[in-house]
A = this chain, B = another copy of it.
């Protein structure tokens, strides 16, 4: 298997790549496996072994743990079971890099991951190569591997893509926690948009809609079964709320007015002393009202002008909900969101707005994407069946206390997103690239 991973060790610190480089559609699962595994190494190329040790908040893991755990997934659920004669790389890794699969093996407390200086990064890279080689072998067998093995390899590929996004999310937090505030990559040279269209809520007709994954392609178990949901007419904004718009909410006392907040949200504001999105520094008291904010990104600290017209990011569900309340609107349900592509648009809309359904946007990969908090709790679809065996713990057991996010972010790997994709986080979570799309009545 050839990818620039083989040269990672010598060149790791030498160049900084564009983390968002697109992957072309592949002819085969094997090609897709190789491409995704290589892309992970590309993503960590700007990082030192020391960077990969940092675990700066309970949500995050050290990057080197992500490198190991994604390999553990292939070894534990595919190679051990389906590759005859497979030799495990290291007997302790079965439990050491288990994340949370209680029925598979024991696992260390999550907070201990920051103590894993051993195995060394070099050894973890060898582990990756060992696993890559074995998967290649499994895929090259004459009659091909069992269909279940193929399905799990595909799951493993999507699993790795999820961790690619987490690597970026976690390293942003790690670098923000470092008082020196290093940057993961150089700033893009393209200028920020000087203005944006005003927000318009595009009306959608309701009715009985099918929700959930459709067709033969891959999806996670939580996107099934496809089932019917009744929707009343509703409206969805054609774009996300920008930083400049969110700054108006702050300037209007947004973080000081309990009547705008859910009760749990107001408690979070008080206890955690929130006064702006997670990576905003400063006080917003500039002459222009907002110009003294500075916003930390993967390219380091940005002046507010540079991000003013970008979608606000790194806010909790509570902040999204309070903003929507303040703006006189609400958040969409995940069903409204998913159905938007399929619903008829009511009334006469300008041509450029007619196509603006969220589901149409999810194929686009650009810096302006954010995970969109919905008003839906993360719950099983009626008739939900988790995957059999330990993989049943992948999604199902987290269906409590979390809210659904839809759409994807600038850090989501290209090709990873579907209209039926359900992301989920606890409502106080702010370390994600999460933003706001407003919804409202169809008027």
Q: A53-B53, A383-B441 are in contact. Are A177 and B112 (CB under 8 A)?
A: yes
Are B427 and A103 in contact, CB atoms less than 8 angstroms apart? no
Please name all residues of chain B whose beta carbon is closer than 8 Å to the beta carbon of A227 when the two chains form the complex.
232
Are A116 and B401 in contact, CB atoms less than 8 angstroms apart? no
A375 proximal to B (CB < 8 A): yes
A120 proximal to B (CB < 8 A): yes
Please name all residues of chain B whose beta carbon is closer than 8 Å to the beta carbon of A120 when the two chains form the complex.
48, 50
Please name all residues of chain B whose beta carbon is closer than 8 Å to the beta carbon of A261 when the two chains form the complex.
397
Q: Name the contact of A180 in the complex, choosing from B53, B118, B317 (C-beta under 8 A).
A: B118
Interface residues of A in 140-177 (CB under 8 A from B): 174, 177
Q: CA–CA, A112 to B118, complex, Å?
A: 21
Are A54 and B180 in contact, CB atoms less than 8 angstroms apart? no
Are A114 and B208 in contact, CB atoms less than 8 angstroms apart? no
Are A379 and B376 in contact, CB atoms less than 8 angstroms apart? yes
Encode A366-381 as 1/0 by CB contact (under 8 A) with B: 0000000001110110
Please name all residues of chain B whose beta carbon is closer than 8 Å to the beta carbon of A333 when the two chains form the complex.
382
Chain B residue, CB-CB nearest to A384: B330
Please name all residues of chain B whose beta carbon is closer than 8 Å to the beta carbon of A317 when the two chains form the complex.
400
Please name all residues of chain B whose beta carbon is closer than 8 Å to the beta carbon of A441 when the two chains form the complex.
383
The segment from A33-41, A262-270, A410-418 that touches chain B is: A262-270
Please name all residues of chain B whose beta carbon is closer than 8 Å to the beta carbon of A179 when the two chains form the complex.
92, 95-96, 108, 112
A284 proximal to B (CB < 8 A): no
In angstroms, how far is the closest chain B Cβ from the Cβ of A106?
10
In angstroms, how far is the closest chain B Cβ from the Cβ of A176?
9
Q: CA–CA, A382 to B231, complex, Å?
A: 9
Q: CA–CA, A396 to B48, complex, Å?
A: 40
Encode A353-372 as 1/0 by CB contact (under 8 A) with B: 00000000000000000000
Q: Name the contact of A117 in the complex, choosing from B53, B116, B258, B376 (C-beta under 8 A).
A: B53
Please name all residues of chain B whose beta carbon is closer than 8 Å to the beta carbon of A115 when the two chains form the complex.
54, 56, 174, 177-178
Q: CA–CA, A118 to B376, complex, Å?
A: 40
Encode A232-264 as 1/0 by CB contact (under 8 A) with B: 101000000000000000000000001101111
Please name all residues of chain B whose beta carbon is closer than 8 Å to the beta carbon of A393 when the two chains form the complex.
259
Question: A53-B53, A116-B180 known; 16 other A-B pairs, CB under 8 Å?
Answer: A48-B117, A50-B64, A50-B117, A54-B114, A102-B258, A103-B259, A115-B174, A117-B174, A118-B180, A227-B232, A259-B393, A262-B399, A263-B397, A263-B400, A318-B400, A321-B400
Q: Which residues of A contact B (CB under 8 A)?
A: 48-56, 64, 92, 95-96, 100, 102-103, 108, 112, 114-121, 174, 177-180, 182, 208, 227-232, 234, 258-259, 261-266, 317-318, 321, 333, 375-377, 379-380, 382-383, 393, 397-401, 427, 441
